[in-house]
Structure 1
Amino acid sequence: MTEFEEPRNETEWSRRAIINVVGVLAVHSESLTLVGAHAVLLRTMNLDVPGMPTGDGDLGVTPGLVGEVPSIEALLAGEGYEHRTTARPGLWGREPYDESDGTRSFREKIDLLAPHGLSGTTSRTRRGVPALQPAHGKLAVGNALGLELAAFNRSLVTIIDFADPRLSAEVHVAEIPALVLAKCSKVGERLREPHKGRVRDKDLGDLWRLMAVADPDDAVRIITGFLDHPEIGDDVRQSVEWTAGVLQDPASVERVKSAFDTFVAPAEIDRVFAGWREALPPV
C-alpha cells in the first residue's frame, strides 16, 4: 500500500478531505461542485496576495444530478466518515482526535451543501434537503443560501493535494461569478440574522480576492443571464440584492483593509469595490 505524506495543518487536511470525499462519491461526481475557501484559492491562485488558512472543505451537491443509489450516507459511512453533529445535516468527519479541552474533533472535515433553492424546502430556517432524504438520509447533505448559481456556473479542474502531490482529483469548481454571489449571500444573511454566525474578515478578504481577479462587467453579464432562470432566477435575484448590500456597506471595505493590512494598498481595495458596485445591476 502506498504511504502518502500526512497533512501538517488544517488547510492541508481540508484539501485532503476534499480529494478523498470526491473519490468516495465518484459515482455521484456530476452532482459535486467545489465551493468555499478551496474554490477561492483555486480561482485566485495567480493573485500576488497571501491566501488565508482554512479548515473548510465545502462541496456543493446538486440534488437533480444525484442518483438514487448508492446512498451518499452509506458510501461515506462505509469509508469511515461519521456525522460531526446531528444538529445540522451535511457535516462529516474522519480521523477523530481529542482537543486539549477534551472535545472531539476530526482531521478530515467536509461539509456537503445543496443549493437552498434546489433543495426542495421553502423554509429559510430548515437546513435539510428533502429532495435527497428518501434515498440518502436526513443528515447526508445540508443546504445553504446563495449556492444556486454554482450548480450551473462551474468547470472541471484537477485539484492537487497540498501535502502530497501524488494525490489528486478531478471535480467541478464554481466559477468566480458563482463564488462572489455565494460569499455575499453568506455575509448578507449573517448581517441580517447575526445568530446564524459572525461575519469574518476572512470572508470579506476572500470576496475581494475573487473580485480583484475578474472583470466585473464580464462576471455581472454571466450573473444577469440567470436572473430569469426558471429554476434559480428568484434565488439569484436574492443573492444579487445581498451582494449589492455587502458592496455598499463601508464596513465591508474596512474589513478587507484589515484582512490585507500591509499586503494590499487601501486605494486598490477601494478601486475594486467601486468597479463592482458600478457593474452590479439593480434588481
Structure 2
Amino acid sequence: MVLTGLSDLPSLQLPLFLVFLLVYLLTLTGNLLIFLLIFTDSHLHTPMYFFLGTLACLDMSYSSVTVPRMLFDLLRELRIVSLQACKNQIFFFIIFLLSDVCVLAVMSYDRYIAICQPLHYMQIMNWNVCVQLVSGILVFSTIYSLLHILLLNKLTFCHQNVLQSFFCDLPQLLEVSCSDTFINVLLIFLLGILSGIIILGVTFYPYIPIITTVLKITSKHTRSKAFSTCSSHLTVVFIFYTASFFNYFRSDANDHLVEAKVASVFFVILTPSLNPVIYSLRNQELKLSLRRTLQRLQ
C-alpha cells in the first residue's frame, strides 16, 4: 500500500512535520494533564470525572494510532505501508474511535442522572456501574472492529494500491480491493445505522429533560454550574460529530482530495487536541484542581 500523505511538495514536508508534531505533543500533554489531575485529586473522584479521564485516555490513544505514522511519513519520500500494518491501524482506530463516541454518550446519561435525579445519583452511578459501562464499551468496540477485520482478511488486494490519505481508513481500503466488497459495505451500513441510532439517541435525548430541569432551577449559581458542565460536553460532542460528518459523508471525495484531507486532519488530529482545552476553559473544578496541584508543587 502507498499513502499519498498530506502533500507532495518537498518544501512543505518539514513545516507540516513541525506543526503536527506540536499539535500531537499538545494533545498528549493536555489529555495526560487532565487524567493525572483526576487521578490524583480526591475532589475529582466522581463518576463525571471518571468518564472525563477515560475520554482523555481514549483521545491520546485515538491520536497515537495515526499521528506518529503520519509524522514519520512526512520525513520520507515514499510512504509504503504493508497490508497487515494497514489492517492493524484500522483495527485500533475503530476501537478507540467507537469507544470515544460511546463514552460521550455515557457522559450525557451521567449528566441526566446528576441533574434530573440528584438524590439517587450515587446509587445509580456507583463505581461498579461506571467500571462496567467502560468495560462494556471497550468489549463492544473490540468486537465491532474485529468483525470488520475478519471480513477484510477475506478480500484480496492488488499490488501497489494507492490510498489518497495519510492513514489507513476502512472505506478507502475497501475502494482499492480487487474483490467484491458488497458484504463489507453492507456490514458497515447495517452496524453503522444500528449502533449510530442507539448512540445518537443516548447522546442527545437526555438533553431534553436536562434543559427543562435546569431552566426550572431558581438559584442562578446552581443553574450556571449545571449549564457549564453540560455546555463543555455539548461543545465536544458538536465538534466531534461535525468533524466526523465532513470526514465520512462527503460526496465523491476523490474529486475533492484537498477538502478530504483537510477534513481528515481536523477529525483525526485536531479534535483530540481541542477536548482538553474546552474542558479546561469551561470547568471550574478542573481549574481549581490545577491551582491546588501547582500550589503543592511550589
Higher RCO (CA-CA < 8 Å; seq separation 6+): 2
Which entry has the higher C-alpha Rg, 1 or 2?
2
TM-score (norm 1): 0.23
TM-score (norm 2): 0.22
- More strand by percentage: 1
- More helix by percentage: 2
